[in-house]
Amino acid sequence: RRRRVAVVSAGRGPLVSRCLAAADAAGHRVFVVAVEKNAHAVRTLLALAANEATWAGRVAVVHGDARLMEPPSCSEAPPEEEEEEEEE
Q: What is the pLDDT of residues 33-66, one digit of tens each?
A: 999 999 999 999 999 999 999 999 999 999 999 8
Nearest-CA neighbor of 78 among 44, 18, 34, 22? Answer: 34
Supply the DSSP symbol for 68: G
Hey, what long-range contacts does 41-44 have (CB within 8 A, 24 or more apart)?
Answer: 41/10, 41/11, 41/12, 44/12, 44/13
Q: Please state, rounded to an integer, the average pLDDT across all residues of the chain.
A: 86
- The pTM assigned to this predicted structure is 0.79
Using DSSP's 3-state secondary structure scheme, residue 24 falls into: helix
In the chain the first and final C-alpha atoms are separated, in Å, by: 15
Residue 68 confidence (pLDDT) above 50:
yes
